[in-house]
Chains A and B, each alone.
Chain A
Amino acid sequence: MLVSRDWLKEYVALPNHDELVDRLTMSGLNHEGSEMVGDDQQIDLEVTSNRSDCLGHIGVAREISVLFESPLKLPAPQPAAAGADISQAFDVQIDCPELCYRFTARLIRGVKVGPSPDWLVERLQTVGIASVNNIVDISNYVMLECGQPLHTFDYDQLRGHKIVVREPAEKESLVAIDHNTYALQPGMCVIADGERAVGLGGVMGGADTEVTDKSCNILVEAAFFNPMCIRATARKLKLHSAASYRFERSLNSENIDWASRRCCELIMQLAGGQLAEGMLDVGRPPTARPPIEFRFPQLQRILGIAIPRETAVAILENLGFGVSAGAHDSDDSISVTAPAWRLDVNREIDLIEEVGRIYGYDKVPDDIAVPMAASVRSHEDRVMQKIRHAITAAGFDEAMTASLVPEAWSDCFTAWSDHPPLKSHQAMLGVLDTSWQNMPVNLLRRSLLPSLLEAFRINEYKQNDQVELFETARVYLANADGLPTEPIKLGIVSERSYGELKGIIEALVGMLNTQVVVETDECDLPLLDITESAELLLDGQRLGWVGKISPATQELFRLKRDATVAELDVGLLNHIATRVALHGQISPFPALTRDFNFIVEEAVRWGDLAKSVREASPELLESIRYKETFRNAEKDGENKKRVLLSVVLRSAEATLTGEQAEAACQAIVNHCKDRQGAELLG
Chain B
Amino acid sequence: MSSDTAMPLDEFIKQLESLAAEAEQTFQDAVDAEKLETARVEFLGARQGRLKSVQKSLGRIDKSDKPAAGKKLNEVKNRIQSSFEASQANLSCGQAERIRDLQVDPSLPGQRPRIGRLHPITQTIEELKDIMGRLGFTPAEGPEVEDPWHNFEALNIPEIHPARDPLDNFYLSLASKQAGLDSQLLLRSQTSTVQIRVMENTPPPVRIISLGRVYRPDTADATHYPMFHQMEGLLIDTEVSLADLKTVLHLFATNYLGEDVPVRIRPSFFPFTEPSVEADYYWNGKWVEFGGAGIVDPNVLKSVGYDPDAVSGFAFGLGVERLCMVRHKITDIRDLFTNEVRFLRQF
Residues of A within 8 A of B (CB): 25-28, 30, 48-51, 228, 231, 235, 248, 300-305, 344, 347, 349-350, 352-353, 356-357, 361-362, 364-368, 370-378, 381, 385, 388, 391-404, 419-426, 428-431, 443-444, 455, 458-459, 462, 464-470, 473-474, 476, 478, 483-484, 486
20 examples of A-B residue contacts, CB within 8 angstroms: A50-B269, A51-B269, A301-B241, A301-B312, A349-B298, A361-B264, A361-B277, A362-B264, A366-B246, A366-B247, A366-B250, A370-B244, A370-B248, A392-B116, A397-B339, A403-B144, A426-B166, A444-B187, A458-B338, A466-B114
In the complex, besides A353-B274, A422-B173, 4 extra interface pairs with C-beta distance below 8 angstroms are: A48-B269, A353-B276, A423-B173, A431-B225
Residues of B within 8 A of A (CB): 113-119, 121-122, 126, 129, 132-139, 143-147, 160, 162, 165-167, 169-176, 179, 185, 187, 205, 207, 213, 215, 217-221, 225-227, 237, 239, 241-244, 246-251, 263-269, 274-278, 295, 297-298, 312, 334, 336-342, 344-345
Q: Quick one: closest A residue to B118, CB to CB?
A: A398
Is there an interface contact between B174 and A420, defined as CB atoms closer than 8 Å? yes
Contact of A398 among B133, B173, B225, B344 (CB under 8 A): B344
B295: which A residues are within 8 A, CB to CB?
Answer: 302, 349
Contact of B133 among A371, A377, A459 (CB under 8 A): A377
Is there an interface contact between A422 and B145, defined as CB atoms closer than 8 Å? yes
Is there an interface contact between B263 and A366, defined as CB atoms closer than 8 Å? yes
Contact of A30 among B122, B243, B247, B278 (CB under 8 A): B278
Contact of B144 among A370, A428, A486 (CB under 8 A): A486
Is there an interface contact between B339 and A431, defined as CB atoms closer than 8 Å? no
A228: which B residues are within 8 A, CB to CB?
Answer: 160, 162
Is there an interface contact between A424 and B187, defined as CB atoms closer than 8 Å? yes
CA distance A353 to B274 in the complex (A): 7
B179: which A residues are within 8 A, CB to CB?
Answer: 420
Contact of A467 among B205, B263, B341 (CB under 8 A): B341
Q: Quick one: closest A residue to B133, CB to CB?
A: A375
Closest chain-A Cβ to B82's Cβ sits at a distance in Å of 38
Q: Quick one: closest A residue to B171, CB to CB?
A: A425
Is there an interface contact between A468 and B116, defined as CB atoms closer than 8 Å? yes
Q: Quick one: closest B residue to A352, CB to CB?
A: B275
Is there an interface contact between B267 and A28, defined as CB atoms closer than 8 Å? yes
Closest chain-B Cβ to A92's Cβ sits at a distance in Å of 26
CA distance A49 to B270 in the complex (A): 9
B185: which A residues are within 8 A, CB to CB?
Answer: 422, 483-484
Is there an interface contact between A458 and B339, defined as CB atoms closer than 8 Å? yes
Q: Quick one: closest B residue to A465, CB to CB?
A: B341
Q: Quick one: closest B residue to A28, CB to CB?
A: B267
Q: Quick one: closest B residue to A426, CB to CB?
A: B217
A397: which B residues are within 8 A, CB to CB?
Answer: 116-117, 119, 339, 341, 344-345
B118: which A residues are within 8 A, CB to CB?
Answer: 388, 392, 398
B171: which A residues are within 8 A, CB to CB?
Answer: 424-426
Is there an interface contact between B213 and A403, defined as CB atoms closer than 8 Å? yes
B113: which A residues are within 8 A, CB to CB?
Answer: 395
Contact of A395 among B116, B146, B205, B297 (CB under 8 A): B116
User: Known: A26-B266, A444-B145. Contact between A400 and B341, CB under 8 A?
Assistant: no
Is there an interface contact between A400 and B339, defined as CB atoms closer than 8 Å? yes
Closest chain-B Cβ to A534's Cβ sits at a distance in Å of 24
Closest chain-B Cβ to A70's Cβ sits at a distance in Å of 21
Is there an interface contact between A304 and B166, defined as CB atoms closer than 8 Å? no
B278: which A residues are within 8 A, CB to CB?
Answer: 30
The 5 closest A-B pairs by CB, nearest first: A304-B243, A304-B241, A430-B220, A373-B136, A28-B267
CA distance A505 to B334 in the complex (A): 30
CA distance A351 to B249 in the complex (A): 24
CA distance A402 to B338 in the complex (A): 10
A235: which B residues are within 8 A, CB to CB?
Answer: 165, 167
Is there an interface contact between B139 and A381, defined as CB atoms closer than 8 Å? yes
